[in-house]
């Protein structure tokens, strides 16, 4: 196997045994990026040597990593793949970036994404679309599509993504890699450019469950710079890989296996359930009765928070500044309105508008407040379900990766592709996506495991036990 196809734990073993060097691994990954990224376009920016000093090779974890373009790297272009932030270089590191620097990781660049993480296909980036390494005519999923495609295309060993409604798990599923949305508050959001502050969470995208646990170890923990990060103990997540699933009770929500789910996806998930049964887990049918309201609730709350968070991009401080040719209102209002007209893409405008509408006078109670109340019901569904089980298993997405352009003209159908991932963010719980098969068309299928708040250990325990009895995670996309 080529060096760029290795997992991080294989690389770390090789370094210890002195069979490989960190320099050789990094050089190999960078060569592959040079040679093939024009096909996949996983990266928004790779063109700056300043972020990978040789001194970093001396660190404990010299693993080449791709960072989503909405996570700040000091003095490095960080743009949320939006025109409005072109040229912006943050004056500070995100907390996760600082932690990874300290661990000695090698930053490869910023991974492409849907503009401001608004999307499920990585087709709304101002740098152009990212393609699925398993089939270049298909989307990689989104919004962390560049991160997932970089790992699946062997153009990075690890990647960081962010997940507001499924943006780590759905692309991990579409690209046949492992992705974790940690519990809200588990990982610091300091330096993550905010989309929806009550839902956003940074998480790992890796080639297998072991790597996912190692990377979560490096980024988790309380941070006084993020007042929403939780001050709770952080276990060594790799310890949970040693436990089996005997005596565990896993819930299957009946609402997730109804019409709309692709037959092959359903079949693969049922086979994974049988696999875990054979290894000693028991299964129980549960109900999450408000599932059908999750997408509507999410698109009110997430867009309302986004409309407020994105108010800061106004042409005053950083990025783009535009002035219309002819004065329309006052010079300063014109500056705001023209900058945002030219700077934001169609989906960003749509979401800011929808959010502004639901927060506006006369509509607040009917939309925003109502959605906050339904969020309570969705959270209560999970509280109730977890009284009867240790974890919940579902498909990550109702289908395999869809074709490029298939859903771009119909925003609602795009939103509905996140139907299985959104509730997790509304409830704030953790969820892991890992490969559980391939469809006849050669595209990967993802299994989602949801857990109780701050019980990522349970997800690793179940995910690892399943993974070790399959070889889906060992397959590599051939370009």
Partner 1 sequence: MISKKDVQYIAHLSRIHLQESEAEKLTHDLEGILGYIEKLNKLDVSQVKPTSHVLPIENVFRQDIVRPSLNPKDIMKFSVENDGRGSFKVPQVIE
Hey, which residues are catalytic here?
68, 143, 167
Q: Residue 451: which H helix or E strand, with range?
A: strand 444-451
Nearer to partner 1, 283 or 318 (CB): 318
Nearer to partner 1, 153 or 166 (CB): 166
> What b/e sequence results for 349-362 when a residue is b if at least 16 CB atoms lie within 10 Å of its CB, and e otherwise?
eebbebbbebbeee
Nearer to partner 1, 16 or 227 (CB): 227
CB of 328 to partner 1, least distance (A): 7
CB of 83 to partner 1, least distance (A): 13
CB of 358 to partner 1, least distance (A): 8
- The CA R_g of the chain, rounded to the nearest whole Å, is 21
Q: Residue 40's closest CA among 32, 28, 30, 50?
A: 32
Binding string, 89-128, against partner 1, x = CB under 8 A?
x-xx------------------------------------
Residue 408 as a binder of partner 1 (CB under 8 A): the answer is no
Site size toward partner 1, by CB under 8 A: 71
Nearer to partner 1, 155 or 223 (CB): 223
Residue 76 as a binder of partner 1 (CB under 8 A): the answer is no
CB of 206 to partner 1, least distance (A): 25
Residue selected from 27, 252, 296, 479 as contacting partner 1 according to rule CB under 8 A: 296
Residue 475 as a binder of partner 1 (CB under 8 A): the answer is no
CB of 32 to partner 1, least distance (A): 31
Measure Cα distances from 296 to 233, 293, 369, 415 in Å.
Answer: 34, 6, 13, 9
With vertex at residue 282, the alpha carbon angle to CA 241 and CA 232, rounded to the nearest 5 degrees, is: 45
Binding string, 146-175, against partner 1, x = CB under 8 A?
------------------------------
Q: Residue 222: which H helix or E strand, with range?
A: none
Who's near 384: CB < 8 A, 6+ residues apart?
Answer: none
Measure Cα distances from 96 to 155, 217, 236, 375, 472 in Å.
Answer: 21, 11, 17, 28, 29
Residue selected from 107, 195, 299, 464 as contacting partner 1 according to rule CB under 8 A: 299
What CA dihedral angle connects 202, 212, 136 and 299, to 10 degrees? Answer: -30
Q: Provide the token pair at 402.
A: 């869809």
Q: What is the DSSP letter of 138?
A: B
| Contact set for partner 1, span 171-200 (CB under 8 A) | 184-185, 198
Classify residue 289 as exposed, middle or buried by CB count within 10 Å of its CB (0-12, 13-18, 19+): middle
CB of 249 to partner 1, least distance (A): 24
Nearer to partner 1, 273 or 300 (CB): 300
Residue selected from 100, 106, 427, 459 as contacting partner 1 according to rule CB under 8 A: 427
Nearer to partner 1, 1 or 353 (CB): 353
| Contact set for partner 1, span 234-263 (CB under 8 A) | none
End-to-end, the C-alpha distance of the chain in Å comes to: 15
Nearer to partner 1, 229 or 396 (CB): 229
Residue selected from 129, 374, 431, 450 as contacting partner 1 according to rule CB under 8 A: 374
- SS3 at position 116: helix
Who's near 62: CB < 8 A, 6+ residues apart?
Answer: 15, 22, 25, 26, 56, 104, 105, 106
CB of 165 to partner 1, least distance (A): 14
| Contact set for partner 1, span 301-360 (CB under 8 A) | 307, 311, 314-321, 323-324, 328, 330-333, 335-338, 340-341, 344, 346, 349-350, 352-354, 356-357, 360
């Amino acid at each position: 196997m080529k060096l760029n196809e290795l997992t991080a734990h294989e690389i770390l073993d090789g370094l210890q045994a002195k069979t490989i060097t960190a320099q050789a691994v990094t050089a190999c990954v960078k060569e592959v990026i040079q040679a093939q990224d024009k096909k996949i376009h996983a990266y928004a920016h790779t063109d700056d040597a300043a972020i990978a000093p040789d001194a970093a090779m001396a660190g404990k974890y010299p693993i080449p990593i791709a960072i989503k373009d909405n996570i700040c790297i000091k003095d490095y272009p960080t743009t949320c793949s939006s025109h409005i932030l072109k040229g912006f270089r943050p004056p500070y590191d995100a907390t996760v970036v600082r932690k990874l620097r300290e661990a000695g990781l090698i930053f490869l660049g910023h991974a492409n994404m849907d503009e401001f993480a608004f999307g499920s296909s990585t087709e709304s980036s101002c740098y152009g679309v990212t393609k699925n390494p398993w089939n270049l005519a298909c989307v990689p999923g989104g919004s962390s599509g560049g991160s997932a495609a970089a790992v699946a295309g062997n153009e990075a060993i690890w990647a960081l993504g962010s997940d507001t409604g499924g943006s780590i798990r759905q692309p991990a599923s579409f690209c046949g890699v492992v992705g974790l949305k940690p519990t809200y508050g588990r990982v610091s959001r300091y330096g993550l450019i905010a989309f929806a502050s009550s839902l956003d969470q940074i998480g790992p995208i890796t080639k297998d469950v072991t790597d996912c646990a190692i990377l979560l170890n490096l980024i988790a923990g309380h941070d006084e710079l993020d007042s929403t990060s939780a001050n709770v103990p952080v276990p060594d997540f790799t310890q949970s890989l040693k436990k089996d699933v005997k005596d565990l009770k896993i819930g299957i929500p009946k609402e997730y296996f109804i019409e709309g789910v692709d037959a092959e996806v359903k079949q693969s998930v049922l086979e994974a359930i049988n696999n875990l049964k054979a290894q000693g887990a028991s299964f129980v049918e549960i109900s999450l009765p408000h599932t059908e309201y999750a997408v509507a609730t999410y698109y009110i709350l997430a867009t309302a928070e986004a409309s407020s968070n994105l108010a800061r991009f106004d042409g005053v401080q950083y990025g783009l500044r535009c002035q219309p040719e002819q004065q329309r209102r006052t010079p300063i209002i014109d500056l705001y309105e023209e900058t945002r007209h030219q700077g934001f893409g169609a989906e960003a405008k749509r979401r800011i508008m929808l959010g502004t509408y639901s927060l506006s006078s006369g509509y607040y109670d009917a939309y925003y407040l109502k959605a906050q109340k339904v969020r309570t019901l969705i959270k209560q569904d999970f509280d109730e379900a977890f009284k009867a089980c240790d974890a919940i298993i579902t498909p990550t997405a109702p289908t395999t990766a869809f074709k490029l352009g298939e859903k771009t003209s119909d925003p609602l159908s795009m939103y509905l592709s996140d139907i299985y991932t959104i509730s997790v963010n509304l409830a704030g719980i953790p969820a892991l996506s890992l490969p559980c098969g391939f469809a006849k068309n050669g595209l990967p299928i993802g299994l989602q495991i949801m857990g109780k708040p701050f019980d990522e250990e349970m997800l690793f325990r179940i995910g690892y036990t399943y993974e070790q009895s399959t070889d889906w995670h060992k397959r590599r996309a051939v370009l």
